[in-house]
């Protein structure tokens, strides 16, 4: 751990650089969690836009429960990037997705941020290895990849680059947890991280089907919102298929449906279903089940699907 910085639980001052859709969402999240947030963005009208975004998010945040002392008053607008990070204990960068811009901006942030303070980038596609090339102290830079809106969707994928030191990845993961996020700490850089890779696979298939006149966008959306999408909030794609194997779980599922991996259901090349992949899937599902039997998972899934369907119905039909 780095002796220059507070432990993640002691952090009070956060800087957000770039305050568009994602950066503004981070500002709202950190304010709701009781932090003092210093924000900077080069757009001349950024303060008004940012305050509108925070005001619009606040009712949802209040409903979820604000931290003690949480207030929009804790937002400080900085005149320069250097002012914004001068006394920060954590920095989140959310500038446009442009590699040259990120390289230059992260190097400037790194030069101006107090020694040892962890700097995180919201990038959805670049690896930190390619972004940290011009940084004077690259060891403290990580990716903290959020989902829109960052004040509602809990997930953050945390990963370092080749020149990031392990303590910075561990510190950032712990900080995001303390700050109320759900964290996946990745072992190494993977293009698209985890969730975007999965989203992209579905998106690609959807575009193929639309391009070939096989399905309309409305049919594609309905196929998820009226179908597997209702199970995913609870189980994710792996435990969903664990239950598709009945009492035999993932092992039966793979042995039964394994050959269809090669059927022309998808335009993505299928992986070889090796013994290693089969074992990894079965072991991983047992771990994810955390001791719950198939019957317990089925009962939990059914309750969750009903609750999600009722919640969606309530929102659509204006019920409380």
Ligand X SMILES: NC(=O)c1ccc[n+]([C@@H]2O[C@H](COP(=O)([O-])OP(=O)(O)OC[C@H]3O[C@@H](n4cnc5c(N)ncnc54)[C@H](O)[C@@H]3O)[C@@H](O)[C@H]2O)c1
Q: Residues interacting with ligand X, by CB under 6 A?
A: 17-23, 41-43, 46, 94-97, 101, 105, 122-124, 146-148
Task: Tabulate helix, strand, coil % of the chain (nearest 5).
Answer: 55, 10, 35
3-state secondary structure of 184: strand
3-state secondary structure of 157: strand
Question: CB-wise, 97 or 162, nearer to ligand X?
Answer: 97
Question: CB-wise, 146 or 161, nearer to ligand X?
Answer: 146
Work out how close the CB of 100 gets to ligand X at its nearest, in angstroms, rounded to a whole number. Answer: 10
Work out how close the CB of 189 gets to ligand X at its nearest, in angstroms, rounded to a whole number. Answer: 15
Work out how close the CB of 246 gets to ligand X at its nearest, in angstroms, rounded to a whole number. Answer: 37
CA angle at residue 62 from 57 to 65, to 5 degrees? 130
What is d(CA 149, CA 48) in angstroms, rounded to the nearest whole number? 19
Work out how close the CB of 127 gets to ligand X at its nearest, in angstroms, rounded to a whole number. Answer: 13
Contact 248, 293 (CB under 8 A): no
Question: CB-wise, 50 or 70, nearer to ligand X?
Answer: 50
Question: CB-wise, 173 or 235, nearer to ligand X?
Answer: 173
What does each C-alpha distance from 150 to 22, 29, 30, 205 come to in angstroms?
A: 7, 7, 10, 27
3-state secondary structure of 233: helix
Question: CB-wise, 17 or 250, nearer to ligand X?
Answer: 17
Work out how close the CB of 20 gets to ligand X at its nearest, in angstroms, rounded to a whole number. Answer: 2
Measured torsion, CA atoms of residues 48, 27, 94, 25, in degrees rounded to the nearest 10: -90
Q: Which residue is nearest to ligand X (CB)?
A: 20
Question: CB-wise, 95 or 289, nearer to ligand X?
Answer: 95
Structural element, H or E, at residue 222 = helix 217-225
Work out how close the CB of 39 gets to ligand X at its nearest, in angstroms, rounded to a whole number. Answer: 10
């Amino acid at each position: 751990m780095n002796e220059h910085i507070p432990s993640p639980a002691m952090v009070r001052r956060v800087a957000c650089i770039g305050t568009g859709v994602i950066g503004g969402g981070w500002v709202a999240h950190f304010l709701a969690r009781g932090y003092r947030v210093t924000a900077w963005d080069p757009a001349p009208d950024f303060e008004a836009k940012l305050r509108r975004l925070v005001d619009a998010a606040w009712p949802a945040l209040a409903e979820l429960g604000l931290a003690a002392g949480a207030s929009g008053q804790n937002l400080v607008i900085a005149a320069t990037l250097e002012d914004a990070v001068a006394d920060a204990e954590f920095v989140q960068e959310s500038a446009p997705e442009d590699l040259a811009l990120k390289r230059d901006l992260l190097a400037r942030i790194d030069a101006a941020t107090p020694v040892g303070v962890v700097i995180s980038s919201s990038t959805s596609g670049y690896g930190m290895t390619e972004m940290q090339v011009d940084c004077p102290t690259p060891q403290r830079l990580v990716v903290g990849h959020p989902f829109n809106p960052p004040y509602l969707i809990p997930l953050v994928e945390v990963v370092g680059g080749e020149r990031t030191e392990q303590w910075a990845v561990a510190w950032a993961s712990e900080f995001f947890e303390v700050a109320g996020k759900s964290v996946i700490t990745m072992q190494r850089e993977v293009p698209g991280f985890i969730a975007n890779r999965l989203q992209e696979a579905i998106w690609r298939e959807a575009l193929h089907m639309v391009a070939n006149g096989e399905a309309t966008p409305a049919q594609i959306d309905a196929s998820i919102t009226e179908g597997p999408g209702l199970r995913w909030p609870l189980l994710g794609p792996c435990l969903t298929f664990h239950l598709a194997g009945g009492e035999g779980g993932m092992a039966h599922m793979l042995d039964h449906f394994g050959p269809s991996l090669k059927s022309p259901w998808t335009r993505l090349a299928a992986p070889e279903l090796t013994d290693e992949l089969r074992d990894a899937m079965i072991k991983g599902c047992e771990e994810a089940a955390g001791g719950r039997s198939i019957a317990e998972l089925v009962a939990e899934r059914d309750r969750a699907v009903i609750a999600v369907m009722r919640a969606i119905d309530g929102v659509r039909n204006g019920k409380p």
